[in-house]
Structure 1
Amino acid sequence: MTRPSDPTVLVVDDEPDLANLYTAFLSSSYTVRTATSASEALERVDEDLDVALLDRRMPGISGDELLAKIRERDCSIKVAMLTAVEPDVDIIDMPFDDYKVKPVDQHELTGLVEALLERIAYDSRGQTYFRLASKKAALEMADNDHGEEYQTLLDDLNAVRAEMDEQLDKIGAEAAFKDLPSVS
């Protein structure tokens, strides 16, 4: 799969001013859909959507529940949780692709969308690696990088990295991931 030539992004936040600000940040580079509730967001999810940015705390259906509903649709949408909720170990089993804590500026938001769009081209192992690495980074930023769940996350991340390294060695591309963070 390759990166889409005309990417479509869904911004979901129950604060209309914030949703509109994010839409303004992104609209010069992407087709942007905006929703101020999870039910409205579900109406805007279709096969043309490439990236969704979800707030976690919303009335009615939470961002966590919205994420689950999007994944139930078996969409290949890249999803980032864009939220004021500091991550805790509860994020480890959530099927998102990235996690950012608000506030974010235009540069950070555009960088997040760009990174998610680039991941569309990765195989499933690479996507799993980046999902796990994102969770690791989010937990470390929140100083929640301890405990059994975190160690299991590290073990999973190391296992995926080892699989990727083995595959790259087989095809002679070991330098392809030299700039990726090592897991310790």
Structure 2
Amino acid sequence: MDSTRRLVYGFTYNRSDATRPGSPVSDDSNATVLLVDDEEALVSMYEAYLADRYEVRTATSGAEALSIADDTVDVALLDRRMPEMRGEEVLRELRAAEIGCRVAMLTAVQPTVDIVDMPFDDYRVKPVNEAELVGVVEVLIERAAYGERSQEFFALASKKAALEVAGETSSDAYETLCTELDEVRVELDRQLDAVGAEAAFSDLA
């Protein structure tokens, strides 16, 4: 696999893609992060982790999150287990409103095959420390620079990795997920090969 493919797929298999606290962030350090969790203490702690790197908005309910979410939000971190409106409901509302932020589910709920149809970009199980929290935001911001199919690949790979960590690999849904992931990977490989060929011919011109 060449360096371009490593760049495209590099985040996929690294579940410890964390940035050390205090290390440099990406060029998009003015990004906006939406933190959503019904535990106020956790929201305050996460905000403290991120506030010196990003503009941070916080919400302690799904309804509040939707009231402050707009196209200026780059990354949303959603708890799943919230009263009145669960995190997956918030996720679907964000997608229905065509708010184009990257979304990570940040939750104590262990993943099962029910996550396969959820339109998130990453899934992390609490507790998470500062390094992991900063890392997942960094990664999602970087992923946003890629095309739609690459982002789909990242999301599928995240679901596959989450299910494997949880030991949820014996279902038809998991097998279908793996097949879809392979199909997207092949398509991306072909696109990269085409780009490489075009570059080679351009050099010869």
TM over 0.5: yes
Cα deviation code 1:65-111 (max 9, x no counterpart): 00011101011110000000000000000000000000000000000
Counterpart in the other structure of 1:47: 71
Question: Deviation of residue 4 (structure 1)?
Answer: 4.1
Give the Cα–Cα distance (whole angstroms) in 2 for the partners of residues 18 and 169 of structure 1. 45
Looking at CA atoms only, which structure, 1 or 2, has the larger radius of gyration? 2
Aligned length: 171
Counterpart in the other structure of 2:103: 79
Root mean square deviation of aligned Cα: 1.1
**Structure 2 unpaired stretches of 5+:** 1-26, 198-205
Counterpart in the other structure of 2:168: 144
TM-score for both structures, normalised by structure 1: 0.91
Letter in 2 for 1:170: A
**Structure 1 unpaired stretches of 5+:** 174-184
Letter in 2 for 1:27: A
Question: Deviation of residue 6 (structure 1)?
Answer: 1.1
Counterpart in the other structure of 1:178: none
Counterpart in the other structure of 1:163: 187
Give the Cα–Cα distance (whole angstroms) in 1 for the partners of residues 62 and 171 of structure 2. 32
Higher RCO (CA 8 Å, separation ≥ 6 residues)? 2
Counterpart in the other structure of 2:53: 29
TM-score for both structures, normalised by structure 2: 0.82
Runs of 4+ off more than 3 Å: none
1:10-159 alignment, distance < 5 Å: 10-159=34-183
Give the Cα–Cα distance (whole angstroms) in 2 for the partners of residues 145 and 80 of structure 1. 21
Secondary structure in 2 aligned to 1:52? strand
Cα deviation code 1:16-71 (max 9, x no counterpart): 00011001001010000010000110111011110000000000010010001110
Letter in 1 for 2:83: P
